[in-house]
């Protein structure tokens, strides 16, 4: 009998029956009753909530049965430690082993197979919680570890103690490829940073870590075959092969594949310090300290290049066991190719008309090398050129059109366009970006070619201190897009759950919350940070790549400080977002045309929330001004702080007019809107994110 059938029989025999009054959570997880809200992320494929709770105490134990491997035992042990850490309960069980079978255990884990770390492995699980006990069942360890994460998210507390909400869950991911790309080249992160992000990935049911290991700004992995790569191209900042093996094993036990990217033929300056013969131009190279597209590129007309890459890829293929290997392939401007007479001669002799055809020839040679070492090629969407076989994976970054084109041509694809978290977009914008376009009318066969997506964390403006705050918690919302059914897209509910998920991620070692506070203490010279925090809560960095273009006198370099206010600010300022939402709620009574759903935050009194927050902001500048006077690094935000105070005062004045049934004259409206427009201009690379809300209030107060 098949394992799944056996598991289903065991489930029946265990009599974990949900009680009456089931509530199915389709589009959103909200609550069982008014005082109990569910904070799962990602939302499961199918969940039934039921009345009742399973309370736990210090006698709590778990049992493992079936085919059990390290993936299950390791994460079951971690589950116990995290459960104990959250509750303060002194749980007797120490390390879970394959022999940890206990008939009286409250949590019974049954696995039908050893977990595997590969694409398209079964990741489904069944979880049932009742007053009588808890059952977790999966066909392998991959499903077990995700079920444990879901169970831990179900933990809540009341006056009677800690409990798990009664429920029945059948869950599996929507997409098999749910990744995070971490760029360790532009700024290097030590191994502990990578490990804590791996733990966070598991918590959010992500299963692919894509490490960007070579760039113009650094070569970040030890090569024993070509040691000058890391010796000369890394500033001494790189992973040893033993460290990388440690990362790969750490991730493997957590069900996460690790695969490398070595960018070629461009984004490759760091290769040429040690091995200049690889390059297309005979010159002296140094590690690049600036950002943007650079001219250096590998020489595709020289056989030495392919001999070198054959040996290098062979070495890295042994180090990285995953079947996929990323070659980059993006943003080659071809300038050094044009300057090389030998390359131009090679193109003419082989009737190669442009740089695109030449790069295709290069990619075809690299593909043969990868195939030799049993690796499958992944590349950015520039590698999608005529004559490339469709057994490669296209990672789309420039737009969904390229991804759809590739999928229709039977290429496997993964989407990163819309998931570039270094663009400083808010969470909602990423969250509503679906890998499968609604109106694309793709056939089921074509949709299967879209494997999922990857969050991309480029490192121009992140160092070890602030990288967590740039990746999380927004990536948790994107992870839900990769895992949960397509209809799960209630933005208000996402934000509600994300608040809880964000602080739970801290227990994994992430610094996205505490390092922001540390940064504020440094900026204020350890003075009271409340006034600076009030400012940070309503401003955001300028979006897209406008921070790169500061001008020659103030340009960013690799060694530039990332400790200013813009570097500790949110990409999705929480109070600004709530002020905008409260404004929408408040002005509903002045308009019968609005169709926006009621907010989860402000159903009681959005007006009072606005008044409280705007009062706080209107008075904030005087307090912050005293801090700025003794902190030179903060002087750049002084006009920003003053503008926030003025915006808040306009908002309060407008609410007062609305409540007094007064209207602004057209002249007054135009005057206020002009002032507010001026306040939209960035200062210190920051934008005030409550201006649009106050503009709405002004227009309503003018009768619009």
Residue 218 predicted with pLDDT over 90:
yes
* Alpha carbon distance, N-terminus to C-terminus of the chain: 69
Q: With 0-12 CB in 10 A as exposed, 13-18 as middle and 19+ as buried, what is 59?
A: exposed
Cα–Cα distance between 10 and 3 in angstroms, integer? 11
| Average confidence (pLDDT) over 658-676 | 94
Model confidence, pTM: 0.94
Of 242, 244, 222, nearest to 233 by C-alpha is 222
3-state secondary structure at position 326: strand
Contact criterion met (CB below 8 Å) for 71 and 255: yes
Of 456, 364, 447, nearest to 403 by C-alpha is 447
224-271: per-residue pLDDT in tens? Answer: 999 999 999 999 999 999 999 999 999 999 999 999 999 999 999 999
Burial 330-343 (b: 16+ CB within 10 A, else e): bebebbbbeebeeb
Residue 20 predicted with pLDDT over 50:
no
Can you read off the two tokens belonging to residue 198? 């791996």
Residue 29 predicted with pLDDT over 60:
no
Can you read off the two tokens belonging to residue 47? 């969940």
Residue with tokens 């109070």: 575
Q: What is the CA radius of gyration of the chain?
A: 27
With cut-offs at 50, 70 and 90, classify the pLDDT of residue 220.
Answer: very high
3-state secondary structure at position 243: helix
| Average confidence (pLDDT) over 114-131 | 97
Cα–Cα distance between 84 and 100 in angstroms, integer? 18
Cross-strand bridge partners of residue 456: 181, 420
Point out the least confidently predicted range of 36-50, 88-102, 537-551: 537-551
With cut-offs at 50, 70 and 90, classify the pLDDT of residue 691.
Answer: very high
Model pLDDT, residue 555: 83
Cα–Cα distance between 525 and 61 in angstroms, integer? 48
Of 109, 82, 112, nearest to 97 by C-alpha is 109
Burial 626-651 (b: 16+ CB within 10 A, else e): ebbeebeebebbbebbbbbbbbbbbb
Cα–Cα distance between 299 and 396 in angstroms, integer? 25
378-415: per-residue pLDDT in tens? Answer: 999 999 988 899 999 999 999 988 899 999 999 999 99
CA atoms within 13 A on the CB side of 194: 28
Q: How many CB atoms lie within 10 A of CB 473?
A: 26
645-661: per-residue pLDDT in tens? Answer: 999 999 999 999 999 98
**Residue 533 main-chain phi, psi, to 5 deg:** -60, -40
The residues, any chain, with a CB within 8 Å of residue 348's CB and separated by 6 or more, are none
569-585: per-residue pLDDT in tens? Answer: 999 999 999 999 999 99
Cα–Cα distance between 356 and 351 in angstroms, integer? 13
**Residues carrying an active site annotation:** 331
3-state secondary structure at position 554: helix
Model pLDDT, residue 595: 44
Model pLDDT, residue 549: 72
Classify domain 177-490 by CATH number.
3.20.20.80
Model pLDDT, residue 592: 55
335-361: per-residue pLDDT in tens? Answer: 999 999 999 999 999 999 999 999 999
Report domain 3-171's class: alpha beta
Model pLDDT, residue 453: 98
Point out the least confidently predicted range of 3-7, 546-550, 662-666: 3-7
Better-scored residue on pLDDT, 20 or 162: 162
**Residue 468 main-chain phi, psi, to 5 deg:** -60, -40
Model pLDDT, residue 2: 43
For 441: left if phi > 0, alpha if psi spans -120 to 50, otherwise beta; the answer is: left
Q: How many CB atoms lie within 10 A of CB 142?
A: 25
Can you read off the two tokens belonging to residue 678? 């001026």
Model pLDDT, residue 37: 79
405-459: per-residue pLDDT in tens? Answer: 999 999 999 999 999 999 999 999 999 999 998 888 899 999 999 999 999 999 9
Of 102, 110, 96, 98, nearest to 13 by C-alpha is 110
With cut-offs at 50, 70 and 90, classify the pLDDT of residue 559.
Answer: very high
| Domain boundary assignment for the chain | 3-171, 177-490, 516-701
Model pLDDT, residue 550: 65
Residue 465 predicted with pLDDT over 50:
yes
With cut-offs at 50, 70 and 90, classify the pLDDT of residue 603.
Answer: low
Model pLDDT, residue 343: 98
């Amino acid at each position: 009998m098949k394992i799944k059938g056996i598991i289903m029989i065991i489930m029946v025999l265990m009599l974990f029956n949900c009680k009456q009054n089931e509530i199915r959570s389709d589009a959103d997880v909200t609550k069982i009753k008014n005082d109990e809200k569910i904070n799962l992320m990602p939302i499961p494929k199918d969940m039934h909530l039921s009345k009742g709770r399973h309370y736990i105490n210090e006698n709590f134990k778990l049992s493992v049965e079936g085919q059990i491997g390290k993936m299950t035992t390791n994460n079951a042990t971690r589950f116990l430690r995290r459960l104990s850490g959250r509750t303060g309960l002194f749980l007797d069980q120490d390390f879970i082993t394959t022999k940890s079978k206990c008939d009286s255990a409250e949590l019974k884990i049954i696995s039908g197979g050893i977990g595997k770390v590969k694409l398209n492995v079964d990741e489904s699980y069944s979880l049932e919680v009742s007053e009588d006990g808890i059952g977790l069942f999966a066909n392998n360890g991959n499903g077990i570890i995700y079920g444990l994460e879901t169970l831990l998210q179900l933990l809540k507390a009341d006056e009677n103690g800690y409990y798990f909400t009664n429920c029945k869950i059948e869950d599996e991911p929507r997409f098999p490829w749910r990744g995070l790309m971490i760029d360790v080249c532009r700024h290097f992160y030590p191994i502990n940073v990578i490990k804590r992000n791996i733990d966070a990935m598991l918590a959010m049911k992500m299963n692919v870590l894509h490490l960007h290991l070579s760039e113009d700004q650094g070569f970040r992995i030890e090569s024993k075959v070509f040691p000058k790569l890391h010796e000369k191209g890394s500033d001494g900042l790189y992973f040893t092969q033993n460290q990388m093996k440690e990362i790969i094993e750490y991730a493997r036990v957590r069900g996460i594949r690790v695969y490398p990217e070595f960018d070629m033929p461009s984004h490759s300056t760091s290769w040429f310090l040690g091995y200049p013969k690889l390059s297309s131009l005979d010159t002296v190279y140094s590690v690049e300290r600036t950002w943007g597209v650079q001219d250096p590129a590998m020489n595709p007309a020289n056989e030495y290049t392919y001999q070198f890459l054959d040996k290098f890829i062979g070495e890295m293929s042994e180090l990285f066991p995953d079947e996929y290997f990323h070659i980059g392939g993006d943003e080659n401007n071809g300038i050094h190719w044009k300057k090389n007479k030998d390359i131009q001669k090679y193109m003419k002799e082989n009737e190669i008309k442009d740089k695109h055809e030449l790069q295709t020839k290069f990619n075809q040679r690299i593909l043969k090398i990868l195939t030799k070492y049993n690796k499958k090629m992944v590349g950015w969407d520039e590698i999608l050129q005529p004559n490339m076989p469709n057994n490669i994976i296209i990672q789309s970054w420039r737009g969904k059109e390229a991804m759809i084109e590739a999928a229709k041509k039977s290429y496997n694809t993964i989407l990163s366009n819309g998931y570039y978290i270094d663009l400083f977009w808010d969470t909602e914008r990423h969250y509503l970006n679906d890998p499968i376009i609604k109106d694309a009318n793709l056939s089921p066969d074509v949709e299967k070619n879209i494997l999922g997506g990857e969050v991309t964390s480029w490192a121009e403006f992140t160092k070890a201190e602030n990288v967590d705050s740039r990746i999380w918690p927004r990536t948790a919302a994107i992870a839900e897009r990769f895992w949960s059914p397509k209809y799960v897209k209630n933005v208000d509910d996402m934000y509600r759950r994300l608040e809880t998920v964000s602080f739970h991620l801290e227990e994994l070692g992430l610094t996205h919350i505490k390092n922001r506070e540390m940064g504020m203490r440094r900026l204020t010279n350890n003075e009271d940070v409340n006034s600076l925090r009030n400012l940070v809560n309503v401003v955001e960095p300028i979006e897209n790549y406008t921070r790169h273009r500061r001008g020659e006198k103030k340009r960013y370099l690799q060694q530039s400080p990332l400790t200013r206010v813009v570097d500790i600010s949110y990409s999705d300022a929480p109070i600004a977002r709530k002020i905008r939402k409260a404004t929408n709620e408040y002005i509903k009574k002045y308009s019968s045309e609005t169709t926006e759903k009621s907010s989860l935050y402000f159903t009681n009194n959005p007006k009072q929330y606005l008044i409280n927050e705007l009062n706080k902001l209107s008075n904030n500048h005087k307090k912050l001004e005293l801090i700025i006077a003794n902190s030179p690094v903060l002087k750049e935000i002084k006009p920003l702080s003053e503008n926030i105070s003025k915006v808040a005062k306009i908002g309060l004045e407008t609410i007062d007019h609305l409540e007094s049934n007064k209207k602004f004259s057209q002249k007054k409206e135009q005057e206020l809107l002009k002032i507010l427009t001026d306040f939209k201009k960035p200062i210190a690379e920051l934008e005030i994110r409550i201006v649009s809300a106050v503009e709405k209030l002004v227009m309503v107060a003018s009768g619009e």
